[in-house]
Structure 1
């Protein structure tokens, strides 16, 4: 009985300490203007400013926000945010975009967390709370475990029906080509025009430069880029640009 009481007391003290720590964060943190905020307010503001590209070049999700980011990436809200982005893409195609339908209309997709979800990997690796481990991530990619993002598959198939040529431009390295193709086809992505990955000579370039150069090569072949979609700003900024660019939500990591 005494042993059980001791265990109970220990657990109670741990919970009390945790609650006290949370109470300090939730009730005493203030902005520079003196506005009292909660931990949720802080993490939501951090996530929003990542998406707005105000916060850049971070190496990891703030430790106090790991649980919040994990909850968001596995939530209905993430699904709704992503599906709304796809809806805007389709609206662009049906209302503001005049397709020439001569085989030269094109659309560019990123791959990771645009077509294939890496949430299963990050779920086991702190939802971005740990510093990037390129070796571990590439090992996971080589196993072809990425799951299809259903909202993106909807857009992908819609573009095929319209006769738009699809280009995949990814920061994945060339040695992952076979595993990437197998993974994409296995979950329903097939029928693209070209898959562009980083060669050894591209590895010394930042991702934004590599992807801008890839767009330039596509245009030099006579294609018109009517749209780009990716989860990272480095996939869509820089020249040449598309008629419209769309960003999917992803606060787990930042790729420059």
Structure 2
């Protein structure tokens, strides 16, 4: 019986090798896999669209983490999405959910300690003009180049968030901005925000030298902790990165704006 079992296993292994010939890992490519499965470029194109949409969707769900660049085969797809009416509609829907929350969420005490937090980049103002000229996330981020662009104070406002910012401020919240930008960019950041219609925030937190080696989620959690220690109640956070919401203390609600161009942890 043992000999028969051995012969069976050997035969099974040979069959598998015939069905699934060995291939070098260097030959693997998502496009090749789609072509093998579909038998044609047109079907492969449809499958690629599904793959890229799934990748983007899972970035937003925080299932895809820590990516340094957008997959090369998805750059065109991400470029189309980030410049589309769908992206604007997705941002608007997130803002509308926030506005709905504001209608019933918060019994403000009127003591000046009810707080709301916003990210800056790709929440209040957009870095999309920069990424249009630098591969829509397909190139590894050059921080020196990006900060040089930020120094020019030309980032446009996200129009839906601009309205939300003023609506929240009008309701009596103290608005705090917590950004991953570095302290030397403070003047340029303030100029940019004011030029785009933002004003009246209660604090703008930027990274000092001591913060630069921290994970962003830890840096932002520490900034929130300082606010809580000062007696503030954090009702909400609006941001485009999951690292803006991680850690404690948190907010009663968080609202995530879409961003598939880069990942900050």
TM range (shorter): 0.7 to 0.9
Give the greater-gyration-radius structure (CA). 2
Residues 241, 259 of structure 2: 8 Å contact kept: yes
Q: CA deviation at 1:27?
A: 5.1
The SS at the match of 2:104 is helix
Q: State the partner residue of 2:11.
A: none
Residue pairs, 1:223-234, within 5 angstroms: 223-234=232-243
Q: 1:148 aligns with which of 150, 157, 169?
A: 157
Q: State the partner residue of 1:133.
A: 142
Output the TM-score relative to the length of structure 1.
0.87
Structure 1 regions of 5+ residues with no counterpart?
1-20, 31-35
Residues 1:193 and 1:26: Cα distance change in structure 2 (over 3 Å)? same
CA distance in 2, matches of 1:93, 1:140: 35
CA distance in 1, matches of 2:95, 2:146: 27
Q: State the partner residue of 2:169.
A: 160
Q: State the partner residue of 2:8.
A: none
Q: State the partner residue of 1:104.
A: 113
The SS at the match of 2:102 is helix
Residue pairs, 1:86-235, within 5 angstroms: 86-235=95-244
Q: CA deviation at 1:28?
A: 4.1
CA distance in 2, matches of 1:135, 1:180: 16
Residues 1:147 and 1:245: Cα distance change in structure 2 (over 3 Å)? same
The SS at the match of 2:115 is strand
Q: CA deviation at 1:24?
A: 5.8
Residues 51, 249 of structure 1: 8 Å contact kept: yes
Q: 2:252 aligns with which of 232, 243, 254?
A: 243
The SS at the match of 2:154 is coil
CA distance in 2, matches of 1:251, 1:23: 21
The SS at the match of 1:184 is helix
**Alignment RMSD, CA only?**
1.8
Q: CA deviation at 1:102?
A: 2.3
Q: CA deviation at 1:224?
A: 0.4
CA distance in 2, matches of 1:126, 1:100: 47
CA distance in 1, matches of 2:121, 2:31: 37
